[in-house]
Amino acid sequence: MLVLATRNPGKLKEFRELLAGLPLEASGLEPFGDIPEPEETGETFADNARDKARYYAAATGQWCLADDSGLVVDALAGQPGVRSARYAIDDVPPGSPRHTIDQANNRKLLRELADVPDHARTARFVCHVALAEPGQVRLEADGTVEGRILHAPRGHNGFGYDPLFYIDQKHRTTAELSPDEKHALSHRGQAMRKLAEMLRTYFWSNDNKSPIISA
């Protein structure tokens, strides 16, 4: 079994869609009870992805896929960066649902960029994924997509900062893209395609008996 180590419903949905082409038995964290979330203390997305993959692999006894991803805004010296998911956490009541936190994050981002002109609102989404078995990380991959931050949200698909992240080549925000369009170019889509190819090579080309991929 492969455990998808996230409680973010939007991210879990994307993981499942991106892994749909592989013969995997994939599960979220729900069957494993109330595992406390680990503290994210890494200075990079890669650090946090590795730490989460190792943590949840140890907690569940299963192979685990974890990611750390976020928004890097040039005008904010790289913020919110590794704090993307909790950028405005002090602005919402403890225990708030994900969509409430997402909305607070977007409001704070717009406040911070209020006086920044269009040409300086460049940004990128970054994703690092890590696959671990109990005891060690086995595979890693990353992806990046360039864009810029709008002055107001547009679109109702996706989650997080998607309604504010405009991709010039598409003339739309990532929240205005269909799931297939988003996966084709997104940071998470890029990282997961790389990881899927690594999985095929790691478990099939070497005739290894896979503990997570069905025969």
Determine the pLDDT at residue 106. 98
Q: What is the pTM of this model?
A: 0.88
The CB density around residue 199, as the number of other CB atoms within 10 Å, is: 22
The CB density around residue 25, as the number of other CB atoms within 10 Å, is: 9
Catalytic residue of the set 34, 47, 51, 68: 68
Each residue's pLDDT tens digit in the chain (215 positions)?
A: 899 998 888 888 888 888 887 877 888 998 998 899 898 899 999 999 999 999 999 999 999 999 999 999 999 999 999 999 999 999 999 999 999 999 999 999 999 999 999 999 999 999 999 999 999 999 999 999 999 999 999 999 989 999 999 999 999 999 999 999 998 999 999 999 999 888 878 765 555 555 554 43
User: Which among 142, 151, 130, 166 is positioned nearest to 49, based on CA atoms?
Assistant: 130
* CATH 3.40.50.720 is the classification of domain 2-205: no
CA 211 – CA 60 distance, rounded (Å)? 14
Cα 132 off chain centre by: 16
Determine the pLDDT at residue 202. 74
**Residue pair 88/108 in contact by the 8 Å Cβ criterion:** yes
**Residue pair 116/75 in contact by the 8 Å Cβ criterion:** yes
The CB density around residue 107, as the number of other CB atoms within 10 Å, is: 14
Radius of gyration from C-alpha coordinates of the chain: 17
Active site residue 68: yes
The CB density around residue 80, as the number of other CB atoms within 10 Å, is: 20
Tens digit of each residue's pLDDT (9 = 90 or more) over 112-171: 999 999 999 999 999 999 999 999 999 999 999 999 999 999 999 989 999 999 999 999
